[in-house]
Amino acid sequence: MSYGKVLVVEDNPDILELVAYNLESQGFEVVRTATGENALAQIKAKKIDLVVLDLMLPGINGLDVCRKIKQSEATRHIPVILLTAKSEDVDIISGLEIGADDYITKPFSPKVLIARARTVLRRNAEAASAASSETVLQVHGIAMDTVRHEVLVDGQPVELSATEFAILRHLLANPGWVFSRNQIIDAVRGGNYPVTERSVDVQILGLRKKLGSQGLYVETVRGVGYRLRGMN
């Protein structure tokens, strides 16, 4: 039984095999490639459920591959986990802002990789099952159709990553309520998900930018966390 088809994009053959071996040992089907160009071709040719993507690739780099995946109507639903040897915030922020769903900094534990792969795929499955709720959430000119997985701001469509969508959905469903970073993580990704508070800050920053002037309603409550300002 396969738990999903994962495309691993890594030009270091040792790391490629390490990642592939650990995924396959846990029941995932793995497609291997060492270049961004071939990765994009594989995504078009095969039904890929998850992309594990190195940032530093020859030719088309990882950020450009991620950008192309998330800009395409046909592939933007595919979650992307970035592999990076860099720990600077600027690299992580760049990846998350263009739509990556998560990141892992090398060197990493195979157990962490498996946990994050499972969580990202579970979150996507939960988002897909939201169609049964047939709920439209609307606050401050921000309208979210959870069935079609669409967001409109003052009537104009806004493209969000899967994580941004999940965070906004939680805030829209609870306007006026203040949530700590850990509460947001628990609501969006599950309580055991290995993620930092800084990651939540980065996702909120990207969400505010994409919401434009309406992003001002996503407020920081100093020393506590975040809230979507209530209507009153």
Profile the chain (232 residues) by mean pLDDT over runs of 10 residues. 86 95 95 96 92 93 92 86 78 84 88 91 71 72 86 92 88 89 77 63 93 94 90 66
* 120 and 15 share one domain: yes
Residue 133 confidence (pLDDT): 54
Residue 163 confidence (pLDDT): 83
End position of a domain, from candidates 81, 107, 128: 128
Tell me how many domains the chain contains: 2
- Nearest-angstrom CA–CA distance, 3 and 176: 38
* 59 and 174 share one domain: no
Residue 192 confidence (pLDDT): 46
Q: Give the DSSP letter string of the chain.
A: --S-EEEEE-S-HHHHHHHHHHHHHTT-EEEEESSHHHHHHHHHHS--SEEEEESS-SSS-HHHHHHHHHH-TTTTTS-EEEEES---HHHHHHHHHTT--EEEESS--HHHHHHHHHHHHHHHHHHHHGGGG--EEEETTEEEETTTTEEEETTEE----HHHHHHHHHHHHSTT--EEHHHHHHHHH-TT----HHHHHHHHHHHHHHHGGGGGGEEEETTTEEEEPP--
The CATH number of the domain holding residue 218 is 1.10.10.10
* 113 and 160 share one domain: no
End position of a domain, from candidates 98, 128, 158: 128
* 118 and 171 share one domain: no
* 176 and 109 share one domain: no
* 142 and 94 share one domain: no
* 57 and 144 share one domain: no
- Nearest-angstrom CA–CA distance, 26 and 21: 9
* 21 and 113 share one domain: yes
* 224 and 178 share one domain: yes
The model carries a pTM of 0.60
End position of a domain, from candidates 71, 94, 128: 128
* 46 and 72 share one domain: yes
- Nearest-angstrom CA–CA distance, 176 and 156: 24
Residue 195 confidence (pLDDT): 55
Domain that holds residue 33: 5-128
* 115 and 197 share one domain: no
* 100 and 144 share one domain: no
